[in-house]
Amino acid sequence: MTKISKGEGPPDPGQGRRVEGVGKSSGPGRGTAPGPGTGSAADGLPAGSGSAGEGRARSPHRIDLADGGGRWADLIVPSPAPSAEVAAAAEGLGGEFDTLAYAGRGGARFAMEEKVPPGYVLVEFARTGPGYFDLGSVDWDGREAVALGDSSTSRRFERRVMWCDNLYPLRFRVRCDDRAEWVIVIRSVRAVRALGTAATGRGSEVLLHTGPAGGLVTRLHAAKGSLRVEGHKPRRPHTPATSPAVLASVYERPYEDVRALPEGPLLVAVLDGDGDWPLEVGELPEPRPRKGLWARLFGRQLTRPP
Protein backbone atom coordinates (compact mmCIF):
# COMPACT_ATOMS: atom_id res chain seq x y z
CA MET A 1 0.00 0.00 0.00
CA THR A 2 1.42 3.37 -1.02
CA LYS A 3 1.45 5.99 1.70
CA ILE A 4 -0.42 9.18 0.88
CA SER A 5 1.47 12.34 1.68
CA LYS A 6 -0.13 15.49 2.97
CA GLY A 7 -0.43 18.54 0.72
CA GLU A 8 1.25 21.88 1.21
CA GLY A 9 0.22 23.83 4.28
CA PRO A 10 -1.81 22.57 7.23
CA PRO A 11 -5.57 22.67 6.46
CA ASP A 12 -8.21 23.17 9.07
CA PRO A 13 -9.14 19.89 10.75
CA GLY A 14 -11.50 17.91 8.51
CA GLN A 15 -11.66 20.61 5.84
CA GLY A 16 -10.36 20.79 2.29
CA ARG A 17 -8.25 23.87 1.59
CA ARG A 18 -10.05 26.58 -0.35
CA VAL A 19 -8.52 27.72 -3.64
CA GLU A 20 -10.03 31.15 -4.05
CA GLY A 21 -8.85 34.19 -5.96
CA VAL A 22 -5.75 32.41 -7.29
CA GLY A 23 -4.62 32.90 -10.88
CA LYS A 24 -7.05 33.16 -13.75
CA SER A 25 -10.07 31.14 -14.69
CA SER A 26 -10.81 30.18 -18.26
CA GLY A 27 -14.55 30.40 -17.66
CA PRO A 28 -17.24 27.74 -17.41
CA GLY A 29 -16.38 24.17 -18.25
CA ARG A 30 -18.32 21.76 -20.37
CA GLY A 31 -21.60 21.78 -18.51
CA THR A 32 -24.82 23.70 -18.13
CA ALA A 33 -24.10 27.34 -17.51
CA PRO A 34 -25.12 28.73 -14.13
CA GLY A 35 -28.57 30.22 -14.12
CA PRO A 36 -29.41 33.57 -12.59
CA GLY A 37 -29.31 33.66 -8.82
CA THR A 38 -27.96 30.12 -8.44
CA GLY A 39 -24.21 30.61 -8.13
CA SER A 40 -21.95 30.56 -5.12
CA ALA A 41 -19.60 33.17 -3.76
CA ALA A 42 -17.00 30.43 -3.38
CA ASP A 43 -16.95 30.05 -7.17
CA GLY A 44 -16.76 33.76 -7.89
CA LEU A 45 -20.44 33.83 -8.85
CA PRO A 46 -23.37 35.68 -7.28
CA ALA A 47 -24.69 34.02 -4.17
CA GLY A 48 -27.81 31.94 -4.70
CA SER A 49 -31.29 32.66 -3.52
CA GLY A 50 -31.54 29.78 -1.05
CA SER A 51 -32.63 30.52 2.46
CA ALA A 52 -30.05 31.08 5.19
CA GLY A 53 -28.66 27.86 6.65
CA GLU A 54 -30.27 25.28 4.36
CA GLY A 55 -29.33 26.95 1.06
CA ARG A 56 -25.95 28.34 2.11
CA ALA A 57 -22.80 26.92 0.52
CA ARG A 58 -20.89 24.62 2.87
CA SER A 59 -17.12 24.21 2.80
CA PRO A 60 -15.92 20.91 1.32
CA HIS A 61 -14.87 18.45 4.01
CA ARG A 62 -13.26 15.04 4.09
CA ILE A 63 -15.58 12.06 4.66
CA ASP A 64 -14.31 9.31 6.91
CA LEU A 65 -15.23 6.19 4.95
CA ALA A 66 -14.18 4.03 7.90
CA ASP A 67 -17.27 5.36 9.70
CA GLY A 68 -19.53 4.39 6.81
CA GLY A 69 -19.58 7.65 4.84
CA GLY A 70 -22.39 9.35 6.76
CA ARG A 71 -25.40 10.31 4.67
CA TRP A 72 -23.61 9.11 1.51
CA ALA A 73 -23.14 5.58 2.88
CA ASP A 74 -25.87 4.14 0.66
CA LEU A 75 -24.12 5.48 -2.47
CA ILE A 76 -20.41 4.98 -1.78
CA VAL A 77 -19.50 1.31 -2.17
CA PRO A 78 -16.12 -0.16 -1.20
CA SER A 79 -13.58 -0.63 -3.99
CA PRO A 80 -13.64 -4.23 -5.21
CA ALA A 81 -10.59 -6.44 -4.75
CA PRO A 82 -8.82 -6.44 -8.14
CA SER A 83 -8.23 -9.65 -10.02
CA ALA A 84 -4.64 -10.71 -10.64
CA GLU A 85 -5.00 -9.59 -14.28
CA VAL A 86 -6.30 -6.14 -13.36
CA ALA A 87 -3.74 -5.64 -10.58
CA ALA A 88 -0.82 -6.49 -12.87
CA ALA A 89 -2.02 -4.28 -15.72
CA ALA A 90 -2.99 -1.36 -13.46
CA GLU A 91 0.47 -1.29 -11.91
CA GLY A 92 1.79 0.66 -14.88
CA LEU A 93 -1.20 3.02 -14.99
CA GLY A 94 -1.52 4.36 -11.46
CA GLY A 95 -0.51 3.87 -7.85
CA GLU A 96 -2.38 2.18 -5.03
CA PHE A 97 -3.95 4.23 -2.24
CA ASP A 98 -6.93 4.24 0.09
CA THR A 99 -10.17 5.62 -1.32
CA LEU A 100 -10.73 9.32 -0.56
CA ALA A 101 -14.04 11.20 -0.43
CA TYR A 102 -15.01 14.87 -0.04
CA ALA A 103 -18.49 16.34 0.33
CA GLY A 104 -19.93 19.84 0.28
CA ARG A 105 -22.85 22.06 -0.66
CA GLY A 106 -22.92 24.72 -3.36
CA GLY A 107 -20.12 25.93 -5.62
CA ALA A 108 -16.52 25.74 -4.44
CA ARG A 109 -12.85 25.56 -5.35
CA PHE A 110 -10.78 23.41 -3.03
CA ALA A 111 -7.62 21.32 -2.75
CA MET A 112 -7.55 17.87 -1.22
CA GLU A 113 -5.53 17.41 1.95
CA GLU A 114 -3.61 14.47 0.47
CA LYS A 115 -1.32 13.83 -2.47
CA VAL A 116 -2.00 10.60 -4.31
CA PRO A 117 0.69 8.63 -6.19
CA PRO A 118 1.40 9.78 -9.77
CA GLY A 119 -0.64 8.16 -12.51
CA TYR A 120 -4.27 7.80 -13.49
CA VAL A 121 -6.98 8.01 -10.83
CA LEU A 122 -10.72 7.37 -10.94
CA VAL A 123 -12.95 10.34 -10.12
CA GLU A 124 -16.55 9.59 -9.16
CA PHE A 125 -19.10 12.25 -8.31
CA ALA A 126 -22.77 12.43 -7.40
CA ARG A 127 -25.10 15.18 -6.22
CA THR A 128 -28.51 15.66 -4.66
CA GLY A 129 -30.83 18.61 -4.86
CA PRO A 130 -32.07 20.86 -7.65
CA GLY A 131 -30.36 22.55 -10.57
CA TYR A 132 -27.16 21.92 -12.46
CA PHE A 133 -23.84 20.38 -11.38
CA ASP A 134 -20.50 20.68 -13.18
CA LEU A 135 -17.08 19.45 -12.05
CA GLY A 136 -13.57 20.25 -13.27
CA SER A 137 -10.01 20.13 -12.01
CA VAL A 138 -7.88 23.21 -11.31
CA ASP A 139 -4.13 23.52 -11.88
CA TRP A 140 -1.52 24.87 -9.46
CA ASP A 141 -2.25 28.54 -10.20
CA GLY A 142 -6.05 28.25 -10.14
CA ARG A 143 -6.74 27.91 -13.87
CA GLU A 144 -9.21 25.46 -15.35
CA ALA A 145 -7.44 22.18 -16.21
CA VAL A 146 -9.60 19.12 -17.00
CA ALA A 147 -13.36 19.28 -17.58
CA LEU A 148 -14.79 16.21 -15.85
CA GLY A 149 -18.37 16.80 -16.94
CA ASP A 150 -21.73 17.25 -15.34
CA SER A 151 -24.39 15.25 -13.56
CA SER A 152 -28.00 15.71 -14.54
CA THR A 153 -29.27 12.77 -12.48
CA SER A 154 -29.59 13.11 -8.74
CA ARG A 155 -28.01 10.44 -6.52
CA ARG A 156 -26.27 8.56 -9.35
CA PHE A 157 -22.51 8.42 -9.59
CA GLU A 158 -20.68 9.47 -12.73
CA ARG A 159 -17.20 7.99 -13.20
CA ARG A 160 -14.25 9.59 -15.01
CA VAL A 161 -10.51 8.95 -15.29
CA MET A 162 -7.88 11.68 -15.04
CA TRP A 163 -4.10 11.95 -14.84
CA CYS A 164 -2.36 13.11 -11.65
CA ASP A 165 1.33 14.09 -11.71
CA ASN A 166 1.69 14.32 -7.92
CA LEU A 167 3.25 17.78 -8.25
CA TYR A 168 0.55 19.14 -5.96
CA PRO A 169 -2.67 17.89 -4.29
CA LEU A 170 -5.62 17.42 -6.60
CA ARG A 171 -7.70 20.58 -6.84
CA PHE A 172 -11.31 20.71 -7.96
CA ARG A 173 -13.84 23.31 -9.06
CA VAL A 174 -17.54 22.69 -8.46
CA ARG A 175 -20.32 24.73 -10.06
CA CYS A 176 -23.81 23.99 -8.85
CA ASP A 177 -26.94 25.38 -7.25
CA ASP A 178 -26.39 26.59 -3.67
CA ARG A 179 -28.96 24.05 -2.46
CA ALA A 180 -27.27 21.09 -4.15
CA GLU A 181 -25.14 18.77 -2.04
CA TRP A 182 -22.40 16.69 -3.64
CA VAL A 183 -19.72 14.08 -3.01
CA ILE A 184 -16.46 13.42 -4.92
CA VAL A 185 -14.72 10.05 -4.53
CA ILE A 186 -11.12 9.41 -5.67
CA ARG A 187 -10.14 5.77 -6.21
CA SER A 188 -7.11 3.88 -7.45
CA VAL A 189 -7.38 2.55 -11.01
CA ARG A 190 -7.27 -0.91 -9.45
CA ALA A 191 -10.99 -0.43 -8.80
CA VAL A 192 -11.83 -0.80 -12.52
CA ARG A 193 -13.31 -3.98 -13.96
CA ALA A 194 -11.78 -5.78 -16.90
CA LEU A 195 -13.20 -5.20 -20.37
CA GLY A 196 -12.43 -8.76 -21.47
CA THR A 197 -14.05 -9.78 -24.73
CA ALA A 198 -17.32 -8.02 -23.90
CA ALA A 199 -18.88 -5.80 -21.25
CA THR A 200 -22.21 -4.16 -20.60
CA GLY A 201 -23.12 -1.24 -18.41
CA ARG A 202 -25.25 1.82 -17.89
CA GLY A 203 -24.18 5.44 -17.83
CA SER A 204 -20.52 6.36 -17.46
CA GLU A 205 -17.88 3.77 -16.65
CA VAL A 206 -14.13 3.08 -16.86
CA LEU A 207 -12.92 -0.36 -17.97
CA LEU A 208 -9.46 -1.90 -18.41
CA HIS A 209 -8.38 -3.52 -21.67
CA THR A 210 -5.43 -5.88 -21.22
CA GLY A 211 -5.46 -7.83 -24.48
CA PRO A 212 -3.89 -7.35 -27.89
CA ALA A 213 -4.88 -4.72 -30.45
CA GLY A 214 -8.13 -5.43 -32.22
CA GLY A 215 -11.49 -3.86 -32.92
CA LEU A 216 -13.98 -2.37 -30.45
CA VAL A 217 -17.63 -2.82 -31.45
CA THR A 218 -19.97 -0.16 -30.01
CA ARG A 219 -23.72 0.01 -30.39
CA LEU A 220 -26.34 2.63 -29.62
CA HIS A 221 -29.94 1.56 -30.19
CA ALA A 222 -31.74 4.59 -28.75
CA ALA A 223 -33.09 7.10 -31.27
CA LYS A 224 -32.15 10.00 -28.99
CA GLY A 225 -29.16 8.89 -26.99
CA SER A 226 -25.43 9.51 -26.92
CA LEU A 227 -22.33 7.41 -26.58
CA ARG A 228 -18.68 8.46 -26.44
CA VAL A 229 -15.82 6.11 -25.65
CA GLU A 230 -12.20 7.20 -25.14
CA GLY A 231 -8.98 5.23 -24.62
CA HIS A 232 -6.22 6.39 -22.24
CA LYS A 233 -2.76 4.92 -22.84
CA PRO A 234 -0.01 4.53 -20.21
CA ARG A 235 2.26 7.56 -19.80
CA ARG A 236 5.20 8.63 -17.69
CA PRO A 237 4.94 11.29 -14.97
CA HIS A 238 5.95 14.84 -15.86
CA THR A 239 5.51 14.26 -19.60
CA PRO A 240 3.25 16.34 -21.89
CA ALA A 241 -0.37 15.25 -21.90
CA THR A 242 -1.69 13.48 -24.97
CA SER A 243 -5.27 13.47 -26.16
CA PRO A 244 -7.18 10.23 -25.52
CA ALA A 245 -8.02 8.04 -28.49
CA VAL A 246 -11.66 8.37 -29.59
CA LEU A 247 -13.06 4.85 -29.82
CA ALA A 248 -16.70 5.84 -30.43
CA SER A 249 -18.67 9.07 -30.72
CA VAL A 250 -22.31 9.34 -31.75
CA TYR A 251 -25.30 11.44 -30.75
CA GLU A 252 -29.02 11.08 -31.32
CA ARG A 253 -29.13 8.30 -33.90
CA PRO A 254 -28.98 4.48 -33.91
CA TYR A 255 -25.37 3.44 -34.34
CA GLU A 256 -23.07 0.46 -34.71
CA ASP A 257 -19.40 0.72 -35.59
CA VAL A 258 -16.02 -0.96 -35.23
CA ARG A 259 -12.93 1.12 -34.50
CA ALA A 260 -9.32 0.21 -33.86
CA LEU A 261 -8.64 -0.74 -30.24
CA PRO A 262 -4.97 -0.22 -29.22
CA GLU A 263 -3.03 -2.91 -27.43
CA GLY A 264 -3.48 -3.02 -23.67
CA PRO A 265 -3.07 -1.96 -21.00
CA LEU A 266 -5.58 0.72 -21.93
CA LEU A 267 -8.21 2.47 -19.82
CA VAL A 268 -11.48 2.55 -21.77
CA ALA A 269 -13.71 5.38 -20.53
CA VAL A 270 -17.40 5.37 -21.46
CA LEU A 271 -18.70 8.95 -21.43
CA ASP A 272 -22.19 10.29 -22.11
CA GLY A 273 -23.55 6.76 -22.12
CA ASP A 274 -27.32 7.18 -22.13
CA GLY A 275 -29.08 4.04 -21.01
CA ASP A 276 -27.63 0.54 -21.35
CA TRP A 277 -24.67 -0.07 -23.64
CA PRO A 278 -22.69 -3.12 -24.81
CA LEU A 279 -19.02 -3.21 -25.84
CA GLU A 280 -17.44 -6.13 -27.68
CA VAL A 281 -13.78 -6.80 -28.50
CA GLY A 282 -12.82 -8.68 -31.63
CA GLU A 283 -10.67 -8.46 -34.71
CA LEU A 284 -10.62 -5.29 -36.78
CA PRO A 285 -12.16 -6.13 -40.18
CA GLU A 286 -10.03 -5.72 -43.27
CA PRO A 287 -10.95 -2.62 -45.30
CA ARG A 288 -13.10 -3.37 -48.34
CA PRO A 289 -11.75 -2.21 -51.70
CA ARG A 290 -13.74 0.36 -53.59
CA LYS A 291 -13.02 1.72 -57.04
CA GLY A 292 -14.12 5.20 -57.91
CA LEU A 293 -13.44 8.04 -60.30
CA TRP A 294 -10.02 8.92 -58.89
CA ALA A 295 -9.03 5.25 -58.85
CA ARG A 296 -9.86 4.95 -62.54
CA LEU A 297 -8.08 8.18 -63.40
CA PHE A 298 -4.88 7.42 -61.50
CA GLY A 299 -4.90 3.64 -61.56
CA ARG A 300 -5.21 3.39 -57.79
CA GLN A 301 -7.49 1.34 -55.62
CA LEU A 302 -9.07 3.30 -52.82
CA THR A 303 -10.20 1.63 -49.62
CA ARG A 304 -12.68 2.48 -46.91
CA PRO A 305 -13.56 0.86 -43.62
CA PRO A 306 -16.68 -1.37 -43.58
Q: Which of 51-55, 243-247, 252-256, 274-278 has the lowest mean pLDDT?
A: 51-55
Region 183-211 average pLDDT: 93
Are 36 and 86 in a shared domain? Answer: yes
Q: Which of 69-73, 100-104, 265-269, 289-293 has the lowest mean pLDDT?
A: 289-293
Q: Is the pLDDT of residue 303 over 60?
A: no
Task: Work out how many domains the chain is built from and give that number.
Answer: 2
> What average pLDDT is seen over the chain?
76
Alpha-carbon gap, residue 133 to 39, rounded angstroms: 11
Are 157 and 103 in a shared domain? Answer: yes
Q: What is the pLDDT of residue 209?
A: 96
**Residue 292 falls inside a structural domain:** no
**Residue 291 falls inside a structural domain:** no
Are 82 and 222 in a shared domain? Answer: no
Q: What is the pLDDT of residue 25?
A: 29
Are 69 and 126 in a shared domain? Answer: yes
Q: What is the pLDDT of residue 276?
A: 78
Write the CATH number for 270: 2.60.120.1540
Region 208-214 average pLDDT: 95
Write the CATH number for 67: 2.60.120.380
**Residue 162 falls inside a structural domain:** yes
Q: Among residues 175, 190, 205, which one ends one of the domains?
A: 190
- pLDDT, tens digit, 9 for 90 and up, residues 146-187: 889 887 666 678 999 999 987 778 999 999 999 899 999 999
Are 180 and 196 in a shared domain? Answer: no
Are 103 and 247 in a shared domain? Answer: no
Long-range contacts of 12-15 (CB under 8 A, 24+ apart): 14/61, 14/62, 15/59, 15/60, 15/61, 15/62
**Residue 290 falls inside a structural domain:** no
Q: What is the pLDDT of residue 238?
A: 78
Query: Containing domain of residue 146, as a range?
Result: 5-190
**Residue 298 falls inside a structural domain:** no
Q: Considering only CA atoms, which of 192, 205, 183, 211 is closest in space to residue 72? A: 183
Q: Is the pLDDT of residue 302 over 50?
A: no
Q: Among residues 147, 166, 190, which one ends one of the domains?
A: 190
- pLDDT, tens digit, 9 for 90 and up, residues 47-104: 333 333 345 667 899 998 876 667 777 778 888 888 888 999 998 899 999 999 999 9
